[in-house]
Structure 1
Amino acid sequence: MSTDKKELDPRIKRTLHLIRDALISLMEEKGFEHITVRDITGRAEINRATFYLHYRDKYDLLDSIVNEMLSEFEAAFRLPDGFTAADFVTDDTPPDSFIRQFEHIAAHAAFYKVMLGPSGLPGFASRMEAIIRNSLYRRSTIAQPDDRQVAMPRDIIVRYVTSAHMGVLMYWLENDMHYSPKYMASELIRLHRLGSTHFFESP
């Protein structure tokens, strides 16, 4: 029932945005399980028939939003085709993919704040982490494809870095994104490259 937004005219796109914004704001207020379709249509100021033109029920709506956002999140963090070890930066210049990731979250901050908060969808954070972990794993194999040349099991390194990466994203959201996406991307790449203990060592 969910509609491909690429084929929609501006009026329908606007309606879908109203529906989706209504769901997110209601989730923040009272949690998903307590929301009805009537609540959503009332908040979006549309009739129920319009809602059912696009979604079977509130679960279909939520699945559509989550899948679309995570697809965009993954695309933002994806390395370009043909990326090689020679393309990795060696200074603190943040990769474009790191900046895009923060820009994507900033553009959809209300959604991510709800989904990663106490009223969010169980398992959502795990799906985000899986996207980050898979991307970082691929980057690690490009940087050093030979497991025998890695100082410890690759899975342990990637899991550790993934947790730190996710923690920084959540910190930024929880603190109302005081820093710019480029600044956060720069600091995150420094953490990835140097490790956290480096910043607490005596000069």
Structure 2
Amino acid sequence: MVIKESLYKLLEKKHLSEITVKELCAQADINRTTFYRNYMDIYDLYEQLEEELTEQAFADGDIQKDRYKLLELIYENQTFYREFFDSRLESRYIKKTIQKMYDEMKQLLINRGTYDEQSFRILYQYNYYGAVGVIHDWVDRGCQESPEEFGNILYGIVEKQYQ
């Protein structure tokens, strides 16, 4: 726990790529052996933290609720996710959630008889990268809107395109 708290403190001052194991160990008041017993490197620690955050928040697997839970998680862990977006890190959870949304939207259009593979793929990528960019901006601005307010606006815009 002290290692994780120390990483959060360091992330308030600098980017993940600038943090060394030596510096983290000094902040946590542990030796390097303790760190390496648990993590391969700083990025492994960061990835494990992200996995812990998302596993706790998304246990039920309801995609409609998960979209808002994701925003709440980001809101509650702004320092962590500011670094996430600034460093362009990958998230297995976000990828998995996006894939679920992709599948649901695709099935919706298939059921309506309006599905076109090429158009859908381009539209979905447009929405995905646009949403990630807008969330990044929200975090950079200090999450001024509540997660619910922000989610209603963001998801409302995206969903209108599939109606």
Q: Structure 1 CA distance, aligned partners of 2:35 and 2:94? A: 32
- The within-5 A match list for 1:118-197 is 120=87, 123-124=88-89, 130-131=95-96, 133-145=98-110, 149-150=114-115, 153-194=119-160
How high is the TM-score relative to the length of structure 1? 0.62
Q: List runs of 5+ in structure 1 lacking aligned partners.
A: 1-13, 84-94, 196-203
Q: Structure 2 CA distance, aligned partners of 1:27 and 1:39? A: 12
CA distance change for structure 1 residues 72 and 36 in 2, over 3 Å: closer, same or farther? closer
Aligned residue in 1 for 2:65: 96
Q: Structure 2 CA distance, aligned partners of 1:109 and 1:96? A: 20
Contact 1:76 1:97 in 2 (8 A): yes
Q: Structure 2 CA distance, aligned partners of 1:183 and 1:54? A: 39
CA distance change for structure 1 residues 70 and 165 in 2, over 3 Å: closer, same or farther? farther
**Partner-residue secondary structure (3-state), 1:150:** coil
CA distance change for structure 1 residues 31 and 101 in 2, over 3 Å: closer, same or farther? closer
Deviation at 1:24, TM superposition (A): 4.3
Q: List runs of 5+ in structure 2 lacking aligned partners.
A: none
CA distance change for structure 1 residues 137 and 174 in 2, over 3 Å: closer, same or farther? same
The higher radius of gyration belongs to 1
Q: Structure 2 CA distance, aligned partners of 1:77 and 1:156? A: 30
Aligned residue in 2 for 1:37: 21
- Residue identity matched to 2:46: I
1:21 aligns to 2:28 (yes or no): no
Q: Structure 1 CA distance, aligned partners of 2:137 and 2:60? A: 22
How many residues are treated as equivalent by the alignment?
159
1:62 aligns to 2:46 (yes or no): no
- The within-5 A match list for 1:73-112 is 73=54, 76=58, 79-80=61-62, 95-112=64-81
CA RMSD, 1 decimal: 3.3
How high is the TM-score relative to the length of structure 2? 0.75
CA distance change for structure 1 residues 40 and 154 in 2, over 3 Å: closer, same or farther? same
- Residue identity matched to 1:184: F
Deviation at 1:146, TM superposition (A): 5.6
CA distance change for structure 1 residues 131 and 70 in 2, over 3 Å: closer, same or farther? farther
Which deviations, in whole Å up to 9, do the C-alpha atoms of 1:84-124 show, x marking residues without a partner? Answer: xxxxxxxxxxx32221111111222111111222xx2xx51
Percent sequence identity is 21
**Partner-residue secondary structure (3-state), 2:110:** coil
Deviation at 1:33, TM superposition (A): 4.5
